[in-house]
Amino acid sequence: MAPSGSRSVDCWRVLYWIPVLFISLIVAWSYYAYVAQLCIETIENTGEKIVYLLVYHVLFIMFVWSYWQTIFTKSMNPLKEFHLSHSDKELLEREDRRESQQEILRRIAKDLPIYTRTMSGAIRYCDCCLLLKPDRCHHCSACDMCILKMDHHCPWVNNCVGFANYKFFMLFLAYSLLYCLFVTATDFQYFIQFWTNGLPDTQAKFHIMFLFFAASMFSVSLAFLFAYHCWLVCKNRSTLEAFRAPAFQHGPDKNAFSLGTSKNFRQVFGDEKKYWLLPIFSSLGDGCLFPTCLVNADPEQPSSPSGHNPSIKSAGESHQFPPKPLRESQSRLLSNGQSEGSEDRDTRGTSNPALTIEKET
């Protein structure tokens, strides 16, 4: 039988759905107000009515689809390699001294592609999930688990926004903004008629008025949020990293994961253009390992690649990953940029070509 404590926690979790319910009710009402009251009841011109309904339904479907995906995509857990083995757990429990525990964690981390540290330089370890946190992974207290490339916990979707659903979240912001802008623009002339008494005296006029107020207010707040996340995507930063730069052996570095705007975009949206606008998962990588361009020499990183042009170094430090295997999509992310314009200047060293990136100036 489940303990009563866990049952009360489950009860609280039901309350987390209230913001989602609130948004869903507003969307359902806006559908009724726009389709039934504005298009069918009020607009007399058949051509205008058909065009409005067609465009509206395309935006509505894309908006609801991406919202659904953001809510119901389960956050990805770190791979099992990052979890402590039974013997390591016992070893860690036996040690009381923090330095000895760090020594054990450092030994385990040596075989893993982990480059970020805590602010004090310690190995990032989650004692709730009993795992070494992969780079950009954080423990979410609301979800009670470690979330890969955690961006933030969003109450409006009752889910963590992270590696698994960040693309869906971006599309949700984009389509909800387009939805609100379209409703605001097409409702505007009827909203003016409301104030000039040009509308018949039915209940439709009040729906039209409130629809304009709601859509325009949401447009403004969504525009700010969407613009901010576009900036984050271009810089390859999560919201958490924008507030506190990720720390490495050599110290904090806010630009460490940035590979240039185009590659940063493709890391989230993928290589295939046909998937960019669809809420279908196409992000590159596995969420545990992210290519970085390390700004300063890291004691853990091998020295500069052989055959590297020293003049490039003055324009921007060049660094190399330890020779740990990259997954196919990550290798692609690093190698594709060669055919691109000056935006993504990635110079590849001869000693370990796939793993060397040139830091952007």
Residues with active-site annotation: 154
Q: Min. distance of Cβ 130 from Zn ion in angstroms?
A: 8
Contact yes or no for 247/117 (Cβ under 8 A): yes
146 is a contact residue toward Zn ion (CB under 5 A) = yes
Q: What is the DSSP string of 137-181?
A: -EEETTTTEEETT--EEETTTTEEESTTTHHHHHHHHHHHHHHHH
142 is a contact residue toward Zn ion (CB under 5 A) = yes
Stretch that binds Zn ion, among 155-163, 188-196, 241-249, 332-340 (CB under 5 A): 155-163
Residue 166 to residues 76, 148, 161, 230, 357: CA-CA distances in angstroms? 12, 11, 6, 12, 25
H-helix or E-strand spanning residue 132:
strand 131-132
160 is a contact residue toward Zn ion (CB under 5 A) = yes
Stretch that binds Zn ion, among 33-41, 139-147, 233-241, 292-300 (CB under 5 A): 139-147
128 is a contact residue toward Zn ion (CB under 5 A) = yes
Which is nearer to Zn ion, 129 or 268 (by Cβ)? Answer: 129
Q: Min. distance of Cβ 119 from Zn ion in angstroms?
A: 18
129 is a contact residue toward Zn ion (CB under 5 A) = yes
* Amino acid in position 357: I
254 is a contact residue toward Zn ion (CB under 5 A) = no
164 is a contact residue toward Zn ion (CB under 5 A) = no
* Binding residue for Zn ion, selected from 126, 170, 222, 355, defined by CB under 5 A: 126
Which is nearer to Zn ion, 167 or 266 (by Cβ)? Answer: 167
140 is a contact residue toward Zn ion (CB under 5 A) = yes
137 is a contact residue toward Zn ion (CB under 5 A) = no
Q: Where are the alpha helices (DSSP H) in the chain?
A: 4-15, 18-31, 46-72, 86-94, 98-109, 166-195, 204-235, 239-243, 261-269, 310-315, 328-335
Which is nearer to Zn ion, 59 or 132 (by Cβ)? Answer: 132
Q: Environment class of residue 61 by beta-carbon count within 10 Å: exposed (0-12), middle (13-18) or buried (19+)?
A: exposed
245 is a contact residue toward Zn ion (CB under 5 A) = no
Nearest one of 208, 219, 254 to 360, comparing CA atoms: 254
Q: Min. distance of Cβ 128 from Zn ion in angstroms?
A: 5
Contact residues for 357 (Cβ-Cβ < 8 A; gap 6+)? 259, 291, 292, 293, 318, 319, 334, 346, 347
Which is nearer to Zn ion, 181 or 240 (by Cβ)? Answer: 240
Neighbours of 25 (CB within 10 A): 10
* Binding residue for Zn ion, selected from 117, 124, 153, 229, defined by CB under 5 A: 153
How many residues belong to the site for Zn ion (CB under 5 A)?
Answer: 10
Binding site for Zn ion (CB under 5 A): 126, 128-129, 139-140, 142-143, 146, 153, 160
